[in-house]
Structure 1
Amino acid sequence: MPLEIRELVIKVTIEEHPPQTAAQPGAKDLQSLKEKVVRECMEKLLTNMENLSAR
């Protein structure tokens, strides 16, 4: 009987920074880009997880 052991370890570090002032140009653009990258990564992860469970 085959034995399969799978482990998934996810480590996350969340650092909280004070809100940035409006004096910094492009701060909103940077935040928007970060959100888009995170959203795209999450979509790809979910798609990969669905594909693995479908096998």
Structure 2
Amino acid sequence: MVASQFDPQDWYKALHNAVVAVSILNRIVLGAELVQLDGPNMRRYLADTTMG
């Protein structure tokens, strides 16, 4: 299982090296089942509720 805050297409920007990004994504994404979660940023939500 691999979890990331980036969508696969955003890894190219995050890694700053297209060869590395393609290598990683080829091994992880091909044949994988992608599950994308949607919802509020819980870190921000909890920080706002605890800070008062």
Provide TM-score, normalisation by structure 2. Answer: 0.30
- Structure with bigger RCO (C-alpha 8 Å, 6+ apart): 2
Q: State the structure with more CA Rg.
A: 1
Select the structure that is richer in helix. 2
